[in-house]
Amino acid sequence: MAKRATYLPSKEALQKRIWHWEDEGFSERCPALYEFLSTGILDGEERKGGSISLFCSNGQLKACFTDRHTQLAFYGVLDGTGELYAVLEAMLISPPEPWTPLKESKAKPVF
């Protein structure tokens, strides 16, 4: 069974880390998203930032959370966009599905 990641840092934890992206307002409103998306130094180790992809499939708006640091991902259906950041923050804190290991892809990245 894949382990579940927890992305709900305390204010003290955020202050002890070095982030390469600074946005005080966003980090206060959505601390889990801020930490998930950020790159920086975490406990003396370089942390790769996560990514969130939004897409529509079978008439539903879905999100894919990919954590490049832990090589885990999960998908979830958004019940609405309302305040999109709040919806994504809630999904990240309590994922609807377990995090699963990323599959190695032979596809070449397109940049």
CA 19/CA 27 separation, integer angstroms:
11
User: For the segment 50-109, what is each residue's pLDDT rounded down to a tens digit?
Assistant: 899 999 988 888 899 998 888 899 888 887 667 788 888 888 888 878 888 987 544 444
pLDDT of residue 52: 92
Give pLDDT, residue 7.
52
Positive/negative CA dihedral, 96, 99, 102, 108: positive
Tokens read off for 104: 């190695």
Closest CA to 88 of 106, 70, 74: 74
Domain boundaries, the chain: 11-99
* pLDDT score of 9: 55
Q: Tell me the DSSP string of 42-102.
A: ETTEEE---EEEEEEETTEEEEEEEETTTTEEEEEE-S--SSHHHHHHHHHHS-SS--EEP
